[in-house]
Amino acid sequence: AETKAVAAAKVDARADKNSLKLDVNVFKEKIVHHLRCTIGTSEKKASKLAWWQALVATANELIFDRLTQTQYTHATKDTRAVHYLSAEFLMGRLTVNNLVSLEVYNTAKSALQELGIDINELCEEETDMALGNGGLGRLAACFMDSLATLAYPSVGYGIHYENGLFRQEIREGRQIERPDSWREYGCPWEVCRPESVQEVPIGGFVETQTAPDGSIRKVWHPEHMIKGVPWDIPVVGFRGASVTILRLWESRPTESFNWDVFNAGGYVDAQNEKAAVETISKVLYPNDSTEAGKMLRLTQQYFFSSCSLRDILRRYNRTHFHDYGEFAKKIAIQLNDTHPVIAIPELMRLLVDEEGISWDAAWEIVTEVFSYTNHTLLPEALEKWPVYIFEKLLPRHLEIIYEINYRFLNEVVEAKWSGDDEKKRKLSIIEEGPCKMVRMANLAVIASRKINGVAEIHSKLVRENLFPEFSTLWPDRFCNVTNGVTPRRWMLACNPGLAELYNEIAGKDWPLHLDSCAALRPYADDPQIQKRFMDIKFKNKVALAAEIKKLCGVEVDPHAMFDVQIKRLHEYKRQHLNLLYILHLYRKLLADPAMRIVPQVFIFGAKAAPAYTLAKNIIYAINVIGDKINNDYRIRNQLKVVFMPNYRVSLAEKIIPAADISEQISTAGYEASGTSNMKFSMNGALTLGTMDGANIEIVAEAGVENNFIFGMSVKDVQELKAKGYNPWDFYNSNQDLRAVVDWLDSDFFTEDRQALASIKHSLLEGGDPYMVLADFASYCAAHKRAEEMYADKARWAHAAIMNSASMGKFSSDRSIEDYVHNIWKLKNYEIKDEI
Ligand code: 6GP
């Protein structure tokens, strides 16, 4: 029983917490207290960084208390939980988001103001946590926010990369990659959990032992042990509903590591081996949607998957004492693309080899527990690992994969397509050929309870084009969960003006029930609301213009139409189609100096994979063409082109609220979903895009008439491909197109003619794999419609409002509820102040 003193202390603690939330003076005292007693400096000499750290320490008082409450509730109720395994979590900055979620942002702002400090400046001190490449990683971050907000028992598992996605610098128009040491001086949001360290074996060989009774046992003799050190980052649900944990594993050498080398006087050699182990979590592979195929990459995947499974088993066995009868009732594991799919054979191995469960019982558990999300149809992203790499790193896992495959082919495929070797070859986990490969996607599908795509059309293509035979075998396994984004970060925190408008019109709960924003729709033609809405947009554009001036040195007019394309640089996303249109506009302006157009600013942000030469050339082209255009007095500032360097989450938060047009122009069938398209729309931008990914669902909600749809449909693309696509047909028959394509192969923009000519080359001799030329004419027409609408202020405001007010479906809360009901089958729990 609780002593009186403990009970009294709890009452005090709760009162303390409430006053911290509500009372500016208390908040102020706390910050100063932490500045002095946690950071060790004084108000007089504190740097901005120190003030920021003190602010974080203050917020952490509330966050860790809430975390403790959450974990207590889940432990006492022995809850079923989802474990989200992802090689990437693109969290961005946490300060504003956490303060907003704790509902202390205004208190903190006033407290700091009274101390003479601007909260915005402090928040700029925080380095983005860029532990992801793009869409897939940011989705994982939005999902963590929703899991915490909806209070579902959950853990995110990933890798504690020492270096996140590279920092991009632009020198003379070219991308330079710089290391991103986001926690060089520590990160105040994370805590290390030494009590949950894991050890993971790797390498070596497998011995087959025969017992006296004739039964066979496999014993793995690994070559090395790797220590996995967990770092926990609390994720705060809106209004503190619950606090969930993102647990990231850092690799370290084990204590016993090379003790012999050490003792033999090999201090330096031992350090080398130590460095080799630390390399595992050193750096995030900077490829978006392309497989790296490197030994180190598979090691990363295995390392974090194994640490996570061991952590799950440890927690389960605390209450179930190695009785696995309840395991599948308590545990759901979601595989974020194929990166963590090695967890499937690893769980088999842990259950069969280490826990002594029969193969059949283990397989039943495994196939109940795992589900798999596919995020792309690009063939170059489908992970395959050479068998020889497996033999070297994970020999026992390879045996298990062979066994899974043998049973699958001889029981399941044989039963359905008896004697059909072609089917077996296609569905096998092992790809035959000069270099035998392990197909991770096939393994994922064979072992998963549910397999989902991330937008309606994508899920359909996953079923029909990617896994047609599997979906014949198991039609019920395939489903769709359309992506979503968190309205807390992507509206409430990044667009306070708009948030205030929704507070008034829809009530203050709209960030929890985004559907309620539909309350603004009846006002879409109300001149006063239109003015209010467009004034908010204008103010955001003024702020972005200042940022553009600061970062790019380019002056832009906030009255101009802001046309934005921000995303990874990839041919399928077609930044070069955008560029061709810009050249086309520029050419028209030069041809007719008296011409007046709607003034336009084209804004780009994009990182290219360091080895993707054509993508880097496109960045270079945007920069040199922009430079020429921005300094050409003849066009009277009617056209500006800016490339904002080092695109990342925190930059997106500044750009998206200021956009008029959102460019979503992928070749139909290639963008699985897109998620920035949702953020733009929520913030009142109109989509100029193809019928691809989630664009289709977005315009269905917001109205096609309020957006600018162009180009070939998925079906058109398939038909043209089947017929034989020839880019020259389009080049030869469209003079405008031909002129701008040829312009790339000139020295008008740069001495380095080669770089720009390489784009032309890919579009013609290269066969134009993403059919840029085929969609050019229709793209120009869509722009024309956009320019006309922009000139009609009332019509534009109507469309902007209809977009923003119709995005209820695209809250990541809805996505998470879909996962919960169709896949995870979880219950959520109210977290009370109980302990
Ligand atoms: C991306 C898809 O390209 C994007 O369309 C989608 O919105 C996002 O995932 C979230 O589902 N895919 C990746 O980032 C990736 O690396 C392997 O796929």
Tokens of 772: 């840029």
CA 289 – ligand 1 centroid, Å: 7
Of 675, 687, 690, 750, catalytic: 675
Residue whose pair of structure tokens reads 């909260």 in the numeric block: 119
450 is known as an active-site residue: no
Query: 117 lies in a domain?
Result: no
Q: How far apart are CA 15 and CA 269, in angstroms?
A: 56
436 is known as an active-site residue: no
* Residues sharing a CB contact under 8 Å with residue 453, sequence separation 6 or more, in sequence order: 373, 374, 459, 460, 461, 462, 463, 480, 481, 672
CA 383 – ligand 1 centroid, Å: 14
Q: Give the confidence band of 703 by pLDDT, cuts at 50, 70, 90.
A: very high
Q: Are residues 682 and 785 in the same domain?
A: yes
CA atoms within 13 A on the CB side of 482: 18
| Tens-digit pLDDT profile for residues 706-746 | 999 999 999 999 999 999 999 999 999 999 999 999 999 99
Of 384, 463, 567, 607, catalytic: 567
Q: Are residues 567 and 703 in the same domain?
A: yes
* Pairing status of strand 331-336 against strand 370-373: parallel
Average pLDDT over residues 652-671: 99
Average pLDDT over residues 687-693: 98
Tokens of 253: 């050498």
CA distances from 592 to 588, 597, 779, 804 (A): 6, 11, 22, 37
Tell me 462's DSSP state.
I
Query: 829 lies in a domain?
Result: no
Q: Are residues 542 and 586 in the same domain?
A: yes
Q: How far apart are CA 327 and CA 153, in angstroms?
A: 15
489 is known as an active-site residue: no
Write out the residue range of the structural domain in which residue 673 sits: 487-810
* Residue 340 near residue 302, CB atoms below 8 Å: no
pLDDT at 762 over 90: yes
Q: Are residues 432 and 549 in the same domain?
A: no
**Closest of 298, 294, 254 to residue 277, by C-alpha:** 254
Q: Are residues 244 and 273 in the same domain?
A: yes
What does the longest C-alpha to C-alpha distance in the chain come to? 96
Task: Pick the atom of ligand 1 nearest to 339's CA.
Answer: 17
Q: Are residues 459 and 517 in the same domain?
A: no
Query: 101 lies in a domain?
Result: no
* Residues sharing a CB contact under 8 Å with residue 107, sequence separation 6 or more, in sequence order: 21, 22, 23, 24, 27
Q: Are residues 564 and 495 in the same domain?
A: yes
Whether the predicted interface score ipTM is above 0.90: yes
| Total structural domains within the chain | 2
CA 646 – ligand 1 centroid, Å: 19
Task: State residue 1's pLDDT score.
Answer: 66
CA 136 – ligand 1 centroid, Å: 5
Protein residue whose Cα sits closest to atom 15 of ligand 1: 289
Query: 39 lies in a domain?
Result: no
Query: 122 lies in a domain?
Result: no
Query: 670 lies in a domain?
Result: yes
Task: Pick the atom of ligand 1 nearest to 376's CA.
Answer: 18
Residue whose pair of structure tokens reads 């474990």 in the numeric block: 83
* Residue 317 near residue 196, CB atoms below 8 Å: no
CA 556 – ligand 1 centroid, Å: 32
Partners of 664 in beta bridges: 689
Q: Are residues 345 and 473 in the same domain?
A: yes
* Residue 565 near residue 575, CB atoms below 8 Å: yes
Q: Are residues 468 and 531 in the same domain?
A: no
Lowest mean pLDDT among 19-23, 202-206, 397-401, 497-501: 19-23
Query: 16 lies in a domain?
Result: no
Give the number of other Cβ atoms within 10 Å of residue 567's Cβ.
25
Query: 37 lies in a domain?
Result: no
CA distances from 702 to 142, 534, 678, 682, 747 (A): 22, 18, 11, 10, 44
568 is known as an active-site residue: yes
What's the CATH code of the domain at 526? Answer: 3.40.50.2000
Protein residue whose Cα sits closest to atom 16 of ligand 1: 289
| Tens-digit pLDDT profile for residues 541-597 | 999 999 999 999 999 999 999 999 999 999 999 999 999 999 999 999 999 989 999
pLDDT at 259 over 60: no
Q: How far apart are CA 186 and CA 766, in angstroms?
A: 47
Alpha helices in 205-357 (DSSP H): 259-263, 267-278, 295-320, 327-330, 343-349
CA atoms within 13 A on the CB side of 317: 10
Task: State residue 268's pLDDT score.
Answer: 76
Express as a percent the part of the chain with pLDDT over 90: 92
Give the number of other Cβ atoms within 10 Å of residue 596's Cβ.
9
Q: What is the dihedral of CA 35, 41, 47, 53, to 10 degrees?
A: -30
Residue whose pair of structure tokens reads 């569905």 in the numeric block: 427
Name the residue type at position 419: G
Q: How far apart are CA 657 and CA 647, in angstroms?
A: 15
As for ligand 1, residues whose beta carbon falls within 6 Å of it are: 134-136, 139, 288-289, 337, 375-376, 381, 454, 483, 671-675, 693
Protein residue whose Cα sits closest to atom 4 of ligand 1: 674
Tokens of 589: 């302006």
Pick from 89, 374, 383, 673 the residue to mutate for probing ligand 1's pocket: most ligand atoms within 8 Å of its CB.
673
Q: Are residues 283 and 218 in the same domain?
A: yes
573 is known as an active-site residue: yes
416 is known as an active-site residue: no
Residue whose pair of structure tokens reads 């050339």 in the numeric block: 617
Q: Are residues 570 and 442 in the same domain?
A: no
Q: How far apart are CA 749 and CA 472, in angstroms?
A: 54
pTM, 2 dp: 0.97
| Tens-digit pLDDT profile for residues 126-167 | 999 999 999 999 999 999 999 999 999 999 999 999 999 999
Q: Are residues 521 and 642 in the same domain?
A: yes
Average pLDDT over residues 628-632: 98
